[in-house]
Structures are given as C-alpha cells and as structure tokens.
Structure 1
Amino acid sequence: MMKIVRASLVAVGISWMLVSVNASAQDQKKPFVTDLYTADPSAHVWQDGRLYVYASHDIAPPKGCDLMDQYHVFSTDDMVHWTDHGEILRASQVKWGRPEGGFMWAPDCAYKNGTYYFYFPHPSGTEWNKTWKIGVATSKYPAKDFEVQGYIEGLESMIDPCVFVDDDGQAYFYYGGGGTCAAGKLKDNMMEIDGELKTMEGLEDFHEATWVHKYKGVYYLSYSDNHDENNDKEGVKGDNRMRYATSKSPLGPWKYQGIYMQPTDSYTNHGSIVEYKGKWYAFYHNSSLSNHDWLRSICVDQLFYNKDGTIKMVR
C-alpha cells in the first residue's frame, strides 16, 4: 500500500511539474510586446537585477523602414511580465539629425561608472544612406531622462551600433552594414574611439546586426546574413538568418560557427543574446502580429549551448 501511495505521489508530483513547465512556456509570450510594433531588441541586465530591452519602433502605416522613430524600453524580472517604460528618444530631439526625421534604426545601450549610454544610428542629412552617424544619449537611469550628447566622430556611414563592456571594464564598439563589420576600443568617456577601428575577419556572409556576448571565457559575435529566399538553393523560406562566430579576443580574429536561427516570417531579423538568472535567451523580431515585413514585433526564446560551446538552433 505504501508503495502504491508513494508511486501515486510521485506521479502527481511529475504531473504538477509538467503543468508548471507548460504554463511557464505559455506565459512567456512571443511576441511579448503587443500594443505597438517594435524591432531590433537589445537586451541587457543591469545592477538593479532587471532585464531591460531597448527596441526600435515601427510606425503604421509603414513606408519601408523610413518611418522608424521613438525608441522604447521594456523590462522584466521574471521573463513573463513586462513593463513598458515608455519612449526615451525620438528623431526630433536629435539636433544634428535629418530635418525629415524617421530613420531611428537598431540601438544599443551600455553602462559604465554610474551612467547609461544609449547608442543609436541616425542620418544627418536628407540623403540618409550616405549620412549615417552613431548618436549617443546619456542618463543616470536605465529607462528615462536620456539626453543626446552628440555622436561618435570619425566613423563611416554605417549602422547597428553594439557596445560590449568586458569583465575588466574596457568597452568595445562595433557597427556595420553592407557586408562590413568594424570594431575597436572606446575611450573611458564612451563617446570616442581609442585608436583605429579594424574590420572583423572570419565572418561568413555578414550583413548587419552585430551583437557580442561572452560565454565561459569565449567571445561570441552574432549577426544577420544576406539570405534571400528567392535565391535559396536549399528551399529555406524567409530572409535573414542569424549566424555567429567565436574568438578568444573581443576583436577577433573570428572563427565562423554556423547558423543559430533560421528566418522568421519577417524580411529582416536582428538579435541579441543575454544571460538572466542562470538561463540564456535569444531575442529577435518577427512579423507574426501584423503579417507585414515592416511592422515587426520583438520576441524571445531560451537559448542553449552544446558541451563544446556551440549554440543549439533556436526554434
């Protein structure tokens, strides 16, 4: 009788755990922002213990990606319930920006010595594709009171800034586009390049969306590729895939490792990878709410590593 009771209790316990796991998986909504269109999620965990996501904003009705504006910040402490901290910056607040506004593309944020640094690409002229600058706004808070301080001088006209702060406090700046990814050290003021930028070598089919994270002492550089379903010989539907490479140094050389995410239902993809409370997550965007390439929504899935440090395919 005792064996039967114990077996029943074990069965009930297992059933309860399965229900809890399924409920947790269902609660972690994809997309997790549903009241406005968002893209290009840049995820960070700050000293207050919350995970923050800095996202660009697609404005309806869309006009390609021209009308993107009004960056928002979202945060969570359980990966289930999210707080929208509201808008932190828009094109009209950028004095050196193009008069027509818009074109506030994929951002990033970094923290150093009590200050949050928000990096964003924005053109300075009407001829937007030739006048990109990487602007910098600062605040003492992670999700409010950002003020534009200027832009990083001496850069080429490229997009998608990423700033990685290593364990020793040294900050590294990455950006790119059009098949080129460049990177270098940042000075302590977080607004100037220290020395010269160099092209990142070893990245196969790089397009844009650079992101750098560190796992067990190894540096990972992830990015979107140039995949086009119209030219795909393997029959893979969709466009940008997410690839990655690894290195023993934050500035390479990089060893290409493969694809970690196949295309979503959106023409683009842009991701970030971060650890939170002992688990790793891959952030990205899709078009599942709108069924429109330029009205996107940010999503998250758990990310897993193989024993050799390679990343398992995120599904």
Structure 2
Amino acid sequence: MNYNSASNASEQTEQSHPSAAAVKFSKAIGKLPPNNNPLVAHKFGADPYALVFEGRVYLYMTSDKLEYDSEGNPQKNSFNSINRITVISSDDLVNWTDHGEIPVAGPQGAATWATQSWAPAAAHQIIDGQDRFFLYFSNNASGIGVLSAPSPVGPWLDPIGKALITRDTPGVEDVTWLFDPAVLVDDDHRAYIYFGGGIPEGRAERPDTARVIPLGEDMTSVVGRARVIPAPYMFEDAGIHKFNNIYYFTYCSNFDEGIRPEGSPPPGEIAYMTSSQPMGPWTYRGTILRNPGHFFGVGGNNHHAIFQFLEHWYIAYHAQTLSQAMEVPDGYRSTHLNRISFSEVDGRINEVAADYEGVEQIKLFNPYQRVAAATMGWSAGVKTERLCTRDTADAAASDVVVTEMERGSWIALSKVDFGNEGAACFTASIFNEGEGAVLELHLDRPDGPLIGQLVIPASGGSPESDISPRWKEHSTGITDAQGVHDIYMVIGGASGKQGISIKEWSFE
C-alpha cells in the first residue's frame, strides 16, 4: 500500500532542477529530513519489539494498514484485519531496511489456526548448536502463538500448530486479555514470557491481569503455572529487560478516569516495576514515558520495547504521527526511537522525552556494498513490496524492492561515507514498466548537487521474479562525491507514465 503517494500528489512543489527540465519533487510526509522519527514513512508499523543480533536491530511491528469504506474513503482502524507482522532492521538506527511482512495468521499465513497477529515479541536461542529465532504474537486478545525460523527474517513456520498460551494455561484463567507478549532470555539461557492486560469490572487500580511464566527449553512450550505481576493500573503492553542484574517489567497504564492515589501512574503512560528475580516479587517504581499525545498532539494507546544496542539503551514506541500528517482517521501508528538512561544511584529509569528528532546515527553508511533498495533514511512517493506473487511466510527477505516510483519520487540515505577519493561509478538493478525515465543522484537534498544520472529505458513485461531477465543492471559514472553526505535518488525524466522499481544498488 502506497500510503503517502496520494497525499504527495497534492503537496508537490515546483523547484529548480540542475539537470534538465523542472521536476516536481514529492514531499516527505511524516518523517521529514533531518528528523529520524518516525523510523519509516512509506508504511505504518505499531507495537514495536526489538531483537538485536549480529550488529543489527530488528524491529517487529503490527502491520497497520489503511481501511476504506465502500466509497474508498479512509476509515478509523478497526484492527480486525491485521494478520501480518512487518520487519525492519538497521545497523545505524537511522537508515532502515524494509524486510517486508510476515504472513502470520489466516489461510495464507504460517499459523492457519489464528485470525489476527498483533503486538509481536521476538527472541533468539541456540538450540542443538543452531541459531533459532522465535516470533510470539497475539491472536487478537484470545491467546498467544509462536513461529520459529533459522534467521531473524525467516522463513517462518508454526512449530506446534496451535496457540502457545490459551485459557487452559495454568494461572491465566482470570486474565481479561491474553495478548501483548514480551520474552526474556536470561544469562543462564532460561526464558520467560510476560503477557496479559485488561481491566476486570471495578478493579482499575489493581487489575492483576499481567502474568509471567517460564518457557520450555524448546521455546515453544510453557512450564508450570503463570504468576501474577501486581502492576498498578495495568492496561496492556508487557515489556521486560534486564540491566545491572535488575529485572524491569514495563507496561502501559490504563485510562480509568477515577481519582488515583498519589504515586500511581497517570493514564496511558509507560510505567515500570523492578525485581531481583525474573518472576518477582515486584516493586512499583514510577513512569518513564508519557502518552504520545503529550509530545505529538495525537494520543491513543502507548506501546513500547526497551533494548540495548552496543553501549546505549533505547526505547521503541509508537505514535500516530504519520497518520496525523496524512490527515487520515485515528488508529494508524508508526514506530519511533529514543535513548533511555538509568540512574547510577538506584537504577531508576530516567524519564524519556519523545520527539521527532529521534536518535543519532551511530555509524556512517557504507555505499561500497550491495544495498537493498528498500533501505531508506527518508522517502517520498514510494512503496515497497515483495517480488512475484509469493506471499507466504517462507518468502525470502531479499525479495523486497522499492516500487511504483514516479517522476519526483525519491529515496534518501543518511550520512553516506564516500571517503576521500570518492565514488567513481554507480550501479543499480532496475525495472521500468513505463516510459523512459532518469534516476538522478543528488547530494544532501532532492535538488542538491547532481553527481550522476542513469537513463532508464522501458523494460517491458513485469518484475515477476528476482531472477527475471527484465531486471536490468544500469551503471553511470559519478563525479564530485567525496566525504560524508546524504544521498538522494530521484526519479526524473519525461512526465509520461512511469513505474520504476529498484531492487539493489551500489557505488564503486
């Protein structure tokens, strides 16, 4: 779904262009350079959960998608049709690679018994000497399922063919909502799953609907009986992390409008408890992140994940900033990222100030490698999709391409390091289903200094597979590209029909 192309069409502005006739550049929506939040602006992504593996952060997100009425008008998100999970990853926290969507639930999903896939959690474990990855998901609020894979991006299979946690799981009989999992693999390799939510009648202050239960060594079974986590004003969004041998259970407080005792979490904020053991007992400590409405002027639920990447700690959370910029109805959420820190005195988490600026890029981007075109710092007028009609959980992650780019569409990478000698050549794998076009390479802004351009003739046919001969390698010489710059790849050329898809690119 190209979420921003319709909005971009009405917001394009005429600007001077150094290479040919004037080009109408599509405006970025939601994620505006140089801001780094939300993380991507070509699609939505809610309920983020982070997994760090081999120098990359993988974020798994509920795949919010625009819903329409019979006349084609966007409607408020009902969440009823969400049966996929979106995956993005980065090694610098600013340029993110879109790995596409995992078909989780429904007849075409890995878990055909499930109807929805909300609020995922991911974990890594070494089993029989092999890396194994596990993706836990909410089948609406009625249970929690699990998928497994040999890599963080799949292929994903359902190892048990049924829900992992149901009403028959010991200790969960009184849980209002069986959803929102979080998983901790401890230093001793034992694993625990945290989940739950909801408000029993008349028990807003002490819902007692949060739970923790050990996972089996296979990561696809539970052991023993779930324990209650007595989280004050618990609503949803279980989270877990460990820092300096302290276990932190984090969650979103409920929106009950009654008078709250002093020291209670305000409505819709991320609160936390601590313990010296993974299953408690727990001590309430306070809140760390106010509701998104406080920062962005648009509220809704609050959902987060806390993780360490290299030497720093981060919190991923969602807010309706992209949908607000698009002026569509409520309920469509986008993932953001900010730093967190801990008190050196007592281990408390310092309050987080959410913003559009986001986090700093932690390393320069290397252009002298084969880069998936679905890697973007910013974008305008683009969408991503898998090649061919493969729409199953075992589809390769490398199948994801940037597609349906038209005149004025662009993708950009942040802080690209061309080195002192600079780039001499640029090559890209491109399919053009329309008329002739040009891919222009600009430094620092869409109409910045032109360092090279590819003339792209029509390819003919369709990009039906990743081995299709219709994908053509195009190259061009590069001049005046030294040092560190943002790089913009802009579609130019005639104003006729265009439909550019880019699979991969590299500089030399």
What is the aligned partner in structure 1 of residue 184 from structure 2?
164
Are positions 1:259 and 2:287 aligned together? Answer: yes
* Cα separation, partners in 2 of 1:32 and 1:232, compared to 1, 3 Å: farther
Are positions 1:204 and 2:212 aligned together? Answer: no
Q: Is the 8 A contact 1:119 1:135 kept in 2?
A: yes
Distance 2:330 2:284 in 1: 28
Unaligned runs of 5+ in 2: 1-32, 68-75, 199-206, 293-297, 354-508
Are positions 1:59 and 2:79 aligned together? Answer: no
AA in 2 matched with 1:249: Q
Distance 2:35 2:311 in 1: 16
Distance 1:305 1:286 in 2: 23
Counterparts of residues 173-252 of structure 1 (less than 5 Å): 173-178=193-198, 179=207, 180-201=209-230, 203-227=231-255, 240-252=268-280
Q: Is the 8 A contact 1:286 1:299 kept in 2?
A: yes
Distance 1:29 1:66 in 2: 30
Distance 2:77 2:317 in 1: 21
Q: Is the 8 A contact 1:28 1:79 kept in 2?
A: no
Distance 1:162 1:56 in 2: 14
Residue 67 of structure 1, CA deviation: 2.7
SS at match of 2:143: strand
Distance 1:282 1:232 in 2: 29
Are positions 1:310 and 2:348 aligned together? Answer: yes
Match of 2:119 among 95, 106, 120: 106
Residue 33 of structure 1, CA deviation: 1.6
Distance 2:103 2:194 in 1: 21
SS at match of 1:142: coil
* Cα separation, partners in 2 of 1:137 and 1:205, compared to 1, 3 Å: same
What is the aligned partner in structure 1 of residue 380 from structure 2?
none
Q: Is the 8 A contact 1:266 1:286 kept in 2?
A: yes
Distance 1:147 1:240 in 2: 35
Residue 87 of structure 1, CA deviation: 1.1
What is the aligned partner in structure 2 of residue 20 from structure 1?
none
Counterparts of residues 108-127 of structure 1 (less than 5 Å): 108-113=121-126, 114-123=131-140
Match of 2:91 among 70, 77, 80: 77
SS at match of 1:143: coil
Unaligned runs of 5+ in 1: 1-25, 124-128
What is the aligned partner in structure 2 of residue 300 from structure 1?
337
Distance 2:59 2:259 in 1: 32
Residue 137 of structure 1, CA deviation: 0.7
Q: Deviations over 1:223-274 (max 9, x none)?
A: 000136x66899xxx9521000111011111111101000002311110101
SS at match of 1:290: helix
SS at match of 1:187: coil
Residue 184 of structure 1, CA deviation: 1.4
Counterparts of residues 11-26 of structure 1 (less than 5 Å): none
Residue 118 of structure 1, CA deviation: 0.6
Structure having the larger proportion of residues in helix: 1
Distance 1:72 1:260 in 2: 26
Q: Is the 8 A contact 1:239 1:266 kept in 2?
A: no
What is the aligned partner in structure 2 of residue 38 from structure 1?
45
Distance 1:211 1:147 in 2: 24
Distance 2:243 2:35 in 1: 24
> How many residue pairs get matched?
273
Residue 141 of structure 1, CA deviation: 0.7
AA in 2 matched with 1:73: V
AA in 2 matched with 1:183: V
Distance 1:231 1:299 in 2: 30
What is the aligned partner in structure 2 of residue 274 from structure 1?
307
Q: Deviations over 1:170-215 (max 9, x none)?
A: 00011101141111111101111111111113x2111111111011
Distance 2:112 2:83 in 1: 15
What is the aligned partner in structure 2 of residue 137 from structure 1?
147
Residue 217 of structure 1, CA deviation: 0.8
* Cα separation, partners in 2 of 1:213 and 1:82, compared to 1, 3 Å: same
Residue 97 of structure 1, CA deviation: 2.0
Residue 69 of structure 1, CA deviation: 2.9
SS at match of 2:117: coil
Which deviates more, 58-67 or 246-255?
Answer: 58-67
Distance 1:28 1:273 in 2: 21
Q: Is the 8 A contact 2:63 2:101 kept in 1?
A: no
* Cα separation, partners in 2 of 1:69 and 1:95, compared to 1, 3 Å: closer
SS at match of 1:42: strand
Distance 2:305 2:335 in 1: 11
What is the aligned partner in structure 1 of residue 430 from structure 2?
none
When normalised by structure 2's length, the TM-score is 0.51
Distance 1:211 1:86 in 2: 24
Q: Deviations over 1:130-175 (max 9, x none)?
A: xx12111110010121112232153346101111100000000111
Residue 70 of structure 1, CA deviation: 1.6
* Cα separation, partners in 2 of 1:29 and 1:232, compared to 1, 3 Å: farther
What is the aligned partner in structure 2 of residue 16 from structure 1?
none
Q: Is the 8 A contact 1:266 1:296 kept in 2?
A: no
Q: Is the 8 A contact 2:105 2:113 kept in 1?
A: no
Distance 1:260 1:209 in 2: 14
When normalised by structure 1's length, the TM-score is 0.81
* Cα separation, partners in 2 of 1:239 and 1:266, compared to 1, 3 Å: farther
What is the aligned partner in structure 1 of residue 56 from structure 2?
50
